[in-house]
Structures are given as C-alpha cells and as structure tokens.
Structure 1
Amino acid sequence: MFGTSIHWTTFFYLLIDTVIVLLTLYFSRKKTRSSLRRFLYLGFLFIAYNATGGFLPVEDFPGPFILQYIITYGVAITLCVYIVYYLYKEYDIVVLKFNSSIRNLAILASVSFIVLFLIPYFLTDSLKSARFLFTIPISILAFIFLFIFYRRISNPSNPNAFILRRNKLSMVSVASIALLPICTVIGDYQWITFTVMNLAFFAITAIEADRYLYFIENNNRMYEVFALKKKQRDESVERKIIYEDLTRREIEVALSILSNLSYKNIAKDLFIAESTVSKHASNIFKKTGVKNRREFLKRFRKKSK
C-alpha cells in the first residue's frame, strides 16, 4: 500500500489503534491519573510499532539499511517490555521475583538484540541468520515466562466473573509477546505478526473497558465510601462515581473488603502479596477516615447493601 511494504491489515490495525488512543485522549482530557497516562503510552507504542514495522524497510531511507531494522526491532522490544510493565503496574501481576525487575528485563532484551542480532549480522551480512540466532533463544525465554505467568494467575481462591475475564485477557496479551519471536522467524508475513501483536492491545483495552463497567456496576455499593463530604453527598442524584480519593487498585481492594473477603483471599484473587493488600487497605482506611477494617465495614457495608 502507498508504494511501501505495509500490508492492508497492518494499516487497518494502525487506524484502529489510533482511534482508540484518540478516544482515550478525548474522554480523559480532564483527568490526569497515572493509569490513564500508562494506557496512552501503550497506545502510542502500538501506533509506532504498526507504523515502523509496516512501512519499513524502504529503499530511499537515509542511512544504512540495518538502521531500519534497528528502529523496527527497537520499537518492538520496547513495546513488549512495556506490556509486561503495564501488567505488573496496573494489575499487580508479579510473575518473577528473582532479579526480574522491568529494568533488568529491558537490559536483557537490549543486550540480546546486540549480541544475538547485530553482531551476527555484521559478521555474516545475513539478515536471515541474525534473525534466527536472535529469535530462537528469545522464543524459549518468552514461552517459559508464558508458562510461569499462566501458573501464577490460574486457580484464584474465590474467583468472580470480573477476575476470570481479566485473567483470560491478560493471558492473551502475554501469549502475543511469546508468539512474536516465532512469527518473526517464520518470515515477513505482516498479516500474521501484526494480528498477533495487536491482539495484546485489544485485550488490554477490553480489560480496561471491563474494569470501568465493573466500577459502574458497583456504583451504588461504592458511592457511600467515596461520598465523604457533604458537598459530595448532595450531588448523589447525579449518580457519579468519585475516583478522586482512591486509586483504581484501591477501589478493587475496597470492593473485596466489602464482600467480607480476608486479606489472604483478596491477595490470591488479585495475584498480589498479602502485605500489598494490607498496604492498600491501610491507604483506603486513611482516605475514608476510618481506623481499621472493622470500622470500615461498620460504616460502609450496611450503606452499600
């Protein structure tokens, strides 16, 4: 298309991702939450991934030919690392604990690209050999991560439909990352590679939409928790959800507490450490003006029924 190597499916995904980002910008124009910024960064990365991977390489590109592959692979690596970061940050899904921070993951991916792709390319002048040497080890590591991720999020202690849907969609995102090296080594079939990767963005978008609807569903239940000031109570007829005080993760924990789940069960359901649940609960109690869990339930549970 357009005299370039971009496939119509890649261009189609580029348009869809752009529309999603523009809609997010429009609906969040008056909000400055870090979670919205993270989603927008993710969207911009997918736009960059579709654009660079779709339009490059081109013959009249300034500079050496390999520079175009450095750009496309660099964007793809950044995107994959950021997806993992997003899952860790937004949903507290910590899969690996042994020296596996996002920074270390980014360093590992970057060093692997230099050692297993760039150096072999300059030594052999063969793009096919360099691609093969880079993608095979990365594929093995990616599928190991996928297996650990699956083990980590499977079998929640007290699952509800919301948690189960998020688990399945999170698996789609991680599976897309794991399949990317395989798709790359198979060859330049854009309709396969870009379909697989864009599924990750669509899955995360679905998670965010589902989480918003989940909060709307629990509007009546949570309103008394948020309406702590008389001014807010007077506005109750507007049926608004007030998120200024609690983060989205704290809202999820608060809903679980109102369901009378123990911190241990909440930790299992949300795939976080019990100490993390306790920390979130402490913040919730402080922000809602109560001293402890018992007082929180006494004040809000009866009103939320």
Structure 2
Amino acid sequence: MNVFDTEMHLVTFLFVIAESVLLLFQTFYLLSRPSEKRRLYFVILLFLLILYNITGGLFPDPNLSIDIKVQNILAYGTGFSMACYFPYYFYKGWELKELRFHAFYGVWLFLFLPYLAFIGIEYMFTGDLISSVQHGVAIAFIYAIVVMLKMFKAISMKYALDNSGWTADVYLTYFAIIPWIALPLISFFQLSQFVEVMVTNLGFTIITFLFSRNNIIKSWEEERQLASLNGNLSLLDSSSDVFLNNCQYYNLTAREIEIVTLIRIGQTYKSIATDLFIAEKTVAKHVQNVYRKMDVSNKMELVGKLEDNQPKTEI
C-alpha cells in the first residue's frame, strides 16, 4: 500500500513521520545541552536513517522528473552513507575503541569505494542496476561480517561479562547490529521495500530503546550527584557569610562561586566537573580566572583570602 501516489510504502511513511518527530525532539534537547556528544551522534544517525527511508521509499519513480539513474544512485547512496556511519556511531557513541580503524578507514575502503566504483561508475556506464548493485554489495557484505564480529567482541569487552551470563543489554545491542549486516543482503536479492524498512528500522528501534534507557539511568545518576552536592554544601560552617561576601567583593561570577565553594570543601577538579556537569578543562579555566581576579596562585591562597574576615581596601 503506497501513499500519495508515490512509490513509498505506508509503513515507510509511518516510520518517517515517527522518526521525524523523534528527530525534532532530540534536536531541541541537544540544543539545550550541547555538551552531550552521545546525543549528537544519535541525532546524526537518526537523520541519516530518515534520509535513507525517504529516498528508498520514493526512488526510483518513473513519474518523477529526476533521471532514473540519478534516483537509484541517490537511493543506494543514502543506504551506504548510513552503513558507513554505523561503525563510527558505535565507536564514538558507545565508546567501542576497538572500532577505530573501521570508523575512520575501513568504511571508506570497503563500503564507500565499492559504492563509487560499481553503483556510481559501473551503473552509469552499463545501465544494469542489478549487476552493479550485486557487485557493490558483495564486498560490503563480507566486510559487514568482519565488522560484526569485531563489534561483538568489543561489546562483550565493554560490558565486562561475568560468570552469571550475558545481560539483556548485550543481547539487545547484538540484535541492533544485525540489521546493519542485513542491508547488503537486502540489496543483493532486491527484496521488497516493506522488508527493507522493517529490518533496518527494527535495528534502529532497539538502538533508540537502549539510548533512552541509558539516558534515564544517567538522569538518575545526575540526581544522585546533585543530592550529594547539596549535602556537601550543607557542611559549610558559619563562616559562609564571610566567604560569600568575599566572593562578591572579588566580583566572582555565579559559576565561579560554585566552583570555589567546592574547592573550599576539598573537591578535585574532576569531582567538581562531575558534580556540575561540565568539562574538567572548563573547571580549570574558571579557576584560572578566579586566580587572576584575586591575585593568588594556588588553592591555599584562594581559600585563605575568601575566608579572611578582615576589612579590605578597594581593589
């Protein structure tokens, strides 16, 4: 069942709508918290999947004014683009360092070049789409198996499985990878759009579930850390008024006051970064600004000046 007199199957259309809404939500969330790199990698993957669904659903269509060859090249190109990004997503988003070669080099050698050589060049000259696709995806399929085995090993190492057996997360992650392996087979055997969409989007659905679950766990952890931070702040003694007055005297910003307050109770840059959800180098930069404002060179001098209740002259 197609929609709007196009080649797009109804199921493809529904996936595009649902994933577009998800993309909009994730993009707004990312804009509010731009430091979340893992969400950025997820948004890119989601965008590529939507593009793949749209081009794969609409092309080829003889009723369109675009040349059929161009339509086919675009349709397969978006599929190869998503396949090329997949190892990078797991390398960066899931921190599977063992995939570095495949993320930066392997996909170019064994996915992009075959696509360019067979679907981009051979098909343009011969016009034989089926043969060109089969030539291009044959290498991709073999490479996909190699990457799959590498991913399985990397995932097992990441989860540090013990004698109790594999966790549900490991099983789900494996199932999320399998559709990526199936892409070359779908193209090789020219399976229907319905089968193609169901297989590829099933894998992405699993990835979305794992991504959302991990974010919920992260939110719980942030709440726990925030509660711990509030507990630390409550440990400050009765000299807090003097401390805060001195912070204002030296024109410290709100963020700088947060940081020096935590330095005062003995926290390290790393623990401060964790509690405030910022990078450790950002903490260091703020501290250097405080040192400059207060004309000090170390933490002891910093805390000493901020706890000094003696009258000060104008700076």
TM-score class, shorter-chain normalisation, is 0.5 to 0.7
Q: Out of 75, 88, 91, which is 2:91 matched to?
A: 88
C-alpha deviation, 1:101, in angstroms? 3.9
For residue 5 of structure 1, give the secondary structure of its aligned residue in structure 2.
coil
CA distance in 1, matches of 2:231, 2:85: 36
TM alignment of 1:176-255, pairs within 5 A: 176-218=179-221, 221-224=224-227, 230=233
**What is the one-letter code of the residue matched to 2:142?**
I
> Quick one: distance in 2 between partners of 1:283 and 1:60?
62
- Between 51-60 and 144-153, report the one with greater CA deviation: 144-153
In the TM superposition, 1:56-67 aligns within 5 A as: 56-67=59-70
Number of the residue aligned with 2:133 = 131
Separation (CA, whole Å) in 1 of partners of 2:28 and 2:103: 33
Summarize deviations over 1:125-171 as a string: whole Å, max 9, x none. Answer: 2111111111122111111211222133236435699x934433332
Partner of 2:46: 43
Q: What is the distance in 1 between the residues matched to 2:272 and 2:33?
A: 23
Change (3 A) 1:160 1:109: same
Q: Distance in 1 between matches of 2:231 and 2:93?
A: 26
Deviations 1:235-289 (A, max 9, x none): xxxxxxxxx9xxxxxxxxxxxxxxxxxxxxxxxxxxxxxxxxxxxxx97357359
Contact 2:87 2:103 in 1 (8 A): no
Cα distance in 1, alignment partners of residues 174 and 133 from structure 2: 26
Percent of aligned positions with the same letter in both sequences?
Answer: 21
Aligned match of 1:109: 111
Give 2:146's aligned residue.
144
The residue correspondences of 1:288-299 to structure 2 (distance < 5 A) are none
Q: What is the CA-CA distance between 1:31 and the residue it aligns to?
A: 2.2
Q: CA deviation at 1:229?
A: 7.9
* Deviation for aligned residue 1:112: 0.8
1:143–1:227 distance in 2 versus 1, CA, 3 Å: farther
Whether 2:270 is the aligned partner of 1:284: answer yes
The DSSP-based 3-state class of the residue aligned with 1:95 is helix
Higher Rg:
2
User: How many Å separate the matches in 2 of 1:202 and 1:3?
Assistant: 28
Preserved contact between residue 87 and residue 170 of structure 1 (Cα < 8 Å)? no
AA paired with 1:137? I
Call closer, same or farther: CA 1:197–1:213 in 2, change over 3 Å: same
Q: Equivalents in 1 of 2:143, 2:201: separation in Å?
A: 21
Superposition deviation, residue 192 in structure 1 = 0.9
Taking a change above 3 Å as real, the CA distance of residues 137 and 55 of structure 1, as seen in their structure-2 partners, is same
The 3 A distance-change label for structure 1 pair 283 and 175 is farther
Return the match for 1:157 from 136, 156, 160: 160
1:222 Cα shift? 2.9
Which of 50, 71, 74 aligns to 1:71? It is 74
SS of 1:89's equivalent in the other structure is: helix
Count, aligned residues: 239
Going from structure 1 to structure 2, the CA distance change for 1:220 and 1:7 (only over 3 Å counts) comes to: closer
Gaps of 5+ in 2: 237-254, 256-267, 276-315
Contact 1:57 1:68 in 2 (8 A): yes
- 1:107 positional shift: 4.9
User: Residues of 2 paired with 1:288 and 1:30: CA distance?
Assistant: 18
Q: Normalising to structure 2: TM-score of the pair?
A: 0.65
Relative contact order: is structure 1 or structure 2 higher (C-alpha 8 Å, sep ≥ 6)? Answer: 1
Q: For residue 68 of structure 1, report the CA deviation from its aligned partner.
A: 0.9
